Structure 1
Amino acid sequence: MTTNSISDKVVLVTGGSGFIAVHCILQLLQAGYQVRTTLRSLNREAEVRAMLKEGGSDAGKQLTFFQANLSADAQWNEAVSGCTYVVHVASPTPILNYRNEDEMIIPAREGVLRVLKASRDAGVKRVVLTSAIGAIVYGHPQQTAPYDETTWTNVAGKAPAYQKSKTLAERAAWDFIEQEGDGLELSAINPATVLGPVLGPDYSHSIHLIKNLLTGKMPGCPKINSGFVDVRDVADLHLRAMTHPAAKGERFIATAGESVWLIEIAKTLKAHLGQAASKVNARELPNTLLRIAALKDPMVKSMIPLLGRMMNVTSAKAIHLLDWSPRSTQEAVLATAESLIRLHLLDQ
């Protein structure tokens, strides 16, 4: 495909101020696409442009903004009109003090359907949906073999509300494509815990893990296991899934490699960052201590179902089918820390 044919194609990225979305926009601009993005408030346009500049791109007129909200129909038809592809990254963020899990589930599911309907009606070729491994790994008996894309989180099991919302939203997307898609194509990306270079003060909740370790806010490491992946590789996988013929109708796990325990993340920071990691506490916290803390702290409470559970997933499908080649977990961890330090975000 030549640059000329790419420059004629318009891509909409939803939720443009988000951590993954900004990196997707950055790579789309660098590839030569015309890019649109949605924000709940256009007051944030300058902030998004500043983040892109930090990432090395002065977007200029190659990027345009639309005000749209996942919970309302307004502006979605205008935003997708004339687009070849839609990268649907926007999703309600986790709510810690929710009264009812439907507070997360309904907006996530309805938002996906809103974007898919507008995309279908506008003649979009393919939508790439940002899902999560939260739609894969929960509610199952313990297993040592890595989870793959054939598995779905069992929402009748012990799945936390946010992960349940990601599962039901992705399920609704696939059902819509099958029943009402009218030729619209769909691919889904299911990232593990997303780390990598922060471009500004707005970043995902997963980045707080590294920030809290570096600032000493975490008195130690809960016995939690996860896969990790660099946001630059997550964005790259979105772009591959957007255009690759083999990605049609498929979901792809994004992880850098084998899952690791949090204590290994702490040890990586201490081993490579010297004085900057002096407050990192690389000791494992007893499960009992966390269960007591969970009685008062909603953030800790959300960790309890994860204690001691292996959360290994495999990206073999993305690597073999889409020729995807992710950075290592260590590189993702250090890029996160170095960007937080460089942008003076640890004291905010």
Structure 2
Amino acid sequence: MNSNLVNTEILSKETGLDSLGNTSCIYPKDLTTQEPVSTALDDINLCAEISPALSDVEPPKIKSPKNSSPSGNFINFGLSGNQTNQRDTTIPIGQSHLSEVLNLEYLASYHKPIEFNYENNNVEILVTGATGFIASHIVERLLLRGYKVRGTIRSLESSTYNYLEALPYAKQNLRLVEANLLNSSIWNEVIKDCQVVIHCASPYSMDFNDPYVDIINPAVEGTKNVIDACCLCNDVKTVVLTSSIAAIVGDYENGKVYSEADWNEVSNPLIEPYLYSKTAAERLAHRTIDEQRPDLNLIVVNVGMTIGPSFRTDINQSVQWIYDMISGGIPTLVDFQTGWIDVRDVAEIHIRLFETKESHGRYICVQGMHTLQDIARIIKVTKPHLKTPSIVIPTFLAKLFISLFTSKSAACFLKKTMGKHILISNAKLVSHLSDYKFIPIEESLTDTCTDLQNKFKIQSSLFSFLRS
């Protein structure tokens, strides 16, 4: 049996940490001596908050750092001078040639070395929401493979994207542009000359003031604007859409095996706008391409609960569960189970899917099914100095009191999922990428906790007596 397949049997309560090899990322020695290549981006007219009228489009707003070439045709990002030229040809796991300068830990953890492919330098790939938790890892791996990457961000005036500029090969191959998802007038120019579009940008939150303004409209209308532009641009051959298992699993029918054929038909937009938005946005993408440009290949990656180390200094919703476990935010556990996946696997799978022939349609992207109790036990083994909750509240009690400790949306979700054990099958993905090995959940949790410890002070809480 393929070890990557999610098994329907109850997970073993015994956990252990696999030994890790000293994998490295291979870099060509002479890349930094090459002459910069000019791009068509210099003529692009992009900005964030502009009028929908095409006649009102503002002048180009593409960042030109101080070390841009004199000609102005090539936009450099990253370090200048001989700092780049001093790179060794390999970077071991956890080390960074940039760390001394930028205090940025290089977060690569690969099963195999990634070789820079000069042929990929002829391909430009757009990644929307490039600063995001998942998207930033995708950008990193695209750059390591030699692709030219165009990343959209909300504002070029912000310093929140500095970690992107510090990535290997960002200086040569990364272009950052401002783009507002809801501004339909700019996306034809944003996408122009890109062969692959990876659409990651979408809000993810269980907290909101207005479900349509905060969650649904940005997700659905934003996806519509991007997909419409892809359909009109003949340069684009493949669209990779980052979706979620939330678009697949809605009712949490106990004992059911869910696959790519399933759709979430039950989420209420007013109470669970995030779950609703993932289904609505993905369906719109399928429908639009079927109607407007059937020859455009759509690949959808339905990701599970995504954890792992982050380039960002904030915490995404999935990692928040882990942070709450080790910091005392969750004093006890509830009987909740879902599919988990490492962010580095998610990024790698996005790329391997568009690089692999015959990739098409939906792919559930989970490493395995784990309960919160499984997660807590694994952390206890791999990080024994951290205290995690050890008591699981009976489901009937949890349903009575859950609303006191979380948002209305999260409470609604947990009430219908607690106490139910399902299988979200990754069989299609495992069969299609038969040689791919997922990062073990033990490694994912270890790296997640280490990353959180490096960024935040983890203290004992008032409820320490409930934790072991």
Is the TM value for this pair above 0.5?
A: yes
Question: Structure 1: which 5+ residue stretches go unaligned?
Answer: none
Counterpart of 1:183 (choices 283, 292, 295) is 295
SS class of match (1:336): helix
Q: The residue matched to 2:263 in structure 1 has which SS? A: coil
- Residue 202 of structure 1: SS of its match in structure 2? coil
Question: What SS is found at the alignment partner of 2:393?
Answer: coil
| 1:85-115 Cα distance to aligned partner (Å, 9 max, x none) | 0110000222424444575223211111111
User: Per the alignment, in what secondary structure is the counterpart of residue 112 of structure 1?
Assistant: helix
Q: Distance in 1 between matches of 2:206 and 2:183?
A: 20
Q: Give the equivalent residue in structure 2 for 1:286.
A: 394
> 1:287-307 CA distances to partner (integer Å, 9 max, x unpaired)?
324532405631652422221
| SS of equivalent residue, structure 1 residue 291 | helix
Structure 1 contact 130–190 (Cα < 8 Å) conserved = yes
Alpha carbons of 1:230 and 1:224: their partners in 2 closer, same or farther (altered >3 Å)? same
- C-alpha deviation, 1:281, in angstroms: 1.5
| Partner of residue 298, structure 1 | 407
Instruction: Tell me the secondary structure at the aligned position of residue 12 of structure 1.
Output: strand
Query: Equivalent residue for 2:161?
Result: 48
The answer on whether the counterparts of 1:109 and 1:165 sit within 8 Å (CA) in structure 2 is yes
8 Å Cα contact 2:332-2:390 kept in structure 1: yes
SS of the equivalent of 1:217 reads coil
User: Distance between the aligned counterparts of 1:308 and 1:227, measured in 2?
Assistant: 15
Partner of 1:66: 177
Distance, in Å, in 1 between the alignment partners of 2:306 and 2:156 is 26
Alignment partner of 1:160 out of 239, 263, 272: 272
Single out whichever of 86-95 and 143-152 deviates more from structure 2: 143-152
Q: 2:240 aligns to what SS in structure 1?
A: strand
Match of 2:426 in 1: 315
Q: Which moved more, 1:335-344 or 1:164-173?
A: 335-344
Contact 2:335 2:372 in 1 (8 A): yes
Pairwise CA RMSD? 2.4
Structure 2 residue identity aligned to 1:164: Y
Structure 1 residue 36 corresponds to structure 2 residue 145: no
CA contact (8 A) 1:128 1:186 kept: yes
Give me the whole-angstrom Cα distance separating, in 2, the residues matched to 1:10 and 1:100: 35
1:180-329 superposed matches below 5 A: 180-181=292-293, 183-248=295-360, 250-257=361-368, 259-275=369-385, 277-278=386-387, 280-287=388-395, 288-295=397-404, 297-298=406-407, 300-301=410-411, 302-323=413-434, 324-329=436-441
Question: What is the TM-score when the length of structure 2 is the normalising length?
Answer: 0.68
CA distance in structure 1 between the partners assigned to 2:453 and 2:295 by the alignment: 47
Counterparts of 1:147 and 1:222 in 2: how far apart (Å)? Answer: 22
Q: Go from structure 1 to structure 2 and tell me whether the alpha carbon gap of 1:144 and 1:110 turns closer, same or farther (over 3 Å shift).
A: same
User: What's the CA shift for 1:4?
Assistant: 2.8
CA contact (8 A) 1:101 1:161 kept: yes
Shift of 1:146: 2.6
- What secondary structure, in the 3-state scheme, does the structure 1 residue paired with 2:258 have? coil
Q: Take 1:180 and 1:133, find their aligned partners in 2: how far apart are those partners?
A: 26
Deviates more, 1:307-316 or 1:122-131: 307-316
Q: Return the TM-score normalized by structure 1.
A: 0.90
In structure 2, what is the equivalent of residue 89 of structure 1? 200
More helix by share: 1
SS at match of 2:176: strand
Which range moved further: 101-110 or 67-76? 101-110
Match of 1:116 in 2: 227
Secondary structure of the structure 1 residue equivalent to 2:444: helix
Q: 1:4 — aligned with what?
A: 118
Distance 1:143 1:183, change over 3 A: same
Q: Distance in 1 between matches of 2:248 and 2:353?
A: 19
SS at 2:392 equivalent:
coil
Query: Given the superposition, is the C-alpha separation of residues 283 and 130 from structure 1 closer, same or farther in structure 2, using an over 3 Å criterion?
Result: same
Per the alignment, residue 136 of structure 1 pairs with: 248
Residues matched between the structures, number: 339
255 and 182 in structure 1: CA distance in 2 versus 1, 3 angstrom threshold: closer
Amino acid at match of 1:121: L
SS at match of 1:42: coil
Gaps of 5+ in 2: 1-114, 460-468
Match of 2:129 among 8, 11, 15: 15
Identity across aligned pairs (percent)?
A: 29
What CA distance in whole angstroms lies between the structure 2 residues aligned with 1:282 and 1:58? 45
Q: How do 1:139-150 residues align onto structure 2 when only pairs under 5 Å count?
A: 139=251, 142-150=253-261
1:83 to 1:133, Cα distance in 2 relative to 1, 3 A? same
Q: Give, in angstroms, the shift of residue 17 of structure 1.
A: 1.1
Rounded Cα–Cα distance in structure 1 between residues aligned with 2:251 and 2:142: 36
